[in-house]
C-alpha cells in the first residue's frame, strides 16, 4: 500500500507494517483524514496507540505527514478499497466530516465501504462518525435524516450504534480537526456524532 511522508511516497508491505506496529496494541484508523491534523493530534496525545490516517487525496497531507511521530502513518487509498494489509487491525475507526464519495457510500450503504469497515476492524472495534449539515445538504439530505440513514446502514451490517448526539459550535471548536474548526466558524455550525462498536 502507498504511504506518504511530506511529498514522498513509499510502498509498505505487510511485513514492514507489522514491524512498525510491534509493541502497539491499539490502532486508530481515521478515514477521510483530510490534512491529517486529527490523526496527528491523536498520535501525539496517545503515544501508546498507533494512528493511521487514510485519504484518497494526497495534496492536503503534505504538512502533517512530515511529523516525526513513530506511531503515525498516512496512507493514500480510497475508503471503498482499503488495502488488504489493514485487515483485522483497527481497534478504533473514525470518520470525521466526510464529503464526496465517502459520504455518498455511507448514505447509500455501499457494500465496498461497509464490508471494508468490517474487515479492517478488530473486534470489538469502536466506531465514531461525525457528520455535518452542509455536506449532507449537498447530497440532498437534512442533517437529521442523513444521520438516521447512516445509522440504519451501520446497524444493518452489525454495528451497535448509540442514538446520535448533536455537536454544536462549542463542541466543534474544541474538536481537533481542521474541518471542525471551519464548520464551527461557518454558516451552519451543526454536526451529529454516531458512536458505537462491533
Q: Which residues, listed in sequence order, are joined to residue 27 by a DSSP beta bridge?
A: 50
Euclidean distance between the first and the last CA atom of the chain, given in angstroms as a whole number: 26
Determine the Cα–Cα distance for residues 141 and 136; give it in Å rounded to an integer: 5
Q: Which is nearer to ligand SAM, 55 or 73 (CB)?
A: 55
Nearest distance, CB of residue 90 and ligand SAM, angstroms: 15
Nearest distance, CB of residue 56 and ligand SAM, angstroms: 4
Closest CA to 94 of 122, 117, 116: 117
Nearest distance, CB of residue 40 and ligand SAM, angstroms: 11
Nearest distance, CB of residue 145 and ligand SAM, angstroms: 20
Q: Phi first, then psi: what are they for 119, rounded to 5°?
A: -80, -25
Q: Which is nearer to ligand SAM, 11 or 59 (CB)?
A: 59
Q: Which is nearer to ligand SAM, 89 or 191 (CB)?
A: 191
Determine the Cα–Cα distance for residues 54 and 73; give it in Å rounded to an integer: 9
Which residue's beta carbon is nearest to the bound ligand SAM?
Answer: 34
Q: Which is nearer to ligand SAM, 6 or 124 (CB)?
A: 6
Residues that bind ligand SAM (CB under 6 A): 32-34, 38, 55-57, 60, 78-80, 96-102, 177-180
76, 55 Cβ separation under 8 angstroms: yes
Burial string for 2-27 (b: 16+ CB within 10 Å, else e) reads ebbbeeeeeebeeeebeebeeebeeb
Q: Which is nearer to ligand SAM, 80 or 195 (CB)?
A: 80
Determine the Cα–Cα distance for residues 151 and 154; give it in Å rounded to an integer: 5
Nearest distance, CB of residue 158 and ligand SAM, angstroms: 21
Amino acid at each position: 500500500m502507498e504511504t506518504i511522508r511530506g511529498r514522498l511516497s513509499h510502498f509498505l508491505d505487510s511485513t514492514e507494517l507489522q514491524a512498525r506496529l510491534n509493541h502497539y496494541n491499539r490502532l486508530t484508523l481515521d478515514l477521510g483524514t483530510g490534512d491529517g491534523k486529527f490523526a496527528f493530534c491523536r498520535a501525539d496525545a496517545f503515544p501508546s496507540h498507533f494512528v493511521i490516517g487514510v485519504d484518497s487525496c494526497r495534496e492536503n497531507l503534505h504538512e502533517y505527514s512530515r511529523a516525526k511521530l513513530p506511531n503515525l502513518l498516512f496512507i493514500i487509498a480510497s475508503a471503498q478499497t482499503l488495502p488488504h494489509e489493514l485487515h483485522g487491525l483497527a481497534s478504533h475507526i473514525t470518520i470525521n466530516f466526510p464529503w464526496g464519495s465517502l459520504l455518498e457510500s455511507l448514505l447509500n450503504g455501499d457494500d465496498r465501504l461497509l464490508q471494508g469497515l468490517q474487515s479492517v476492524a478488530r473486534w470489538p472495534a469502536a466506531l465514531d462518525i461525525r457528520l455535518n449539515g452542509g455536506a449532507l445538504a449537498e447530497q440532498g439530505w437534512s442533517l437529521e435524516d442523513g444521520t438516521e440513514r447512516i445509522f440504519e446502514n451501520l446497524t444493518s451490517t452489525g454495528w451497535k450504534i448509540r442514538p446520535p448526539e448533536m455537536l454544536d459550535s462549542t463542541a466543534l471548536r474544541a474538536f481537533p480537526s481542521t474541518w471542525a474548526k471551519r464548520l464551527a466558524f461557518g454558516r451552519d455550525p451543526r454536526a451529529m456524532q454516531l458512536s458505537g462498536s462491533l
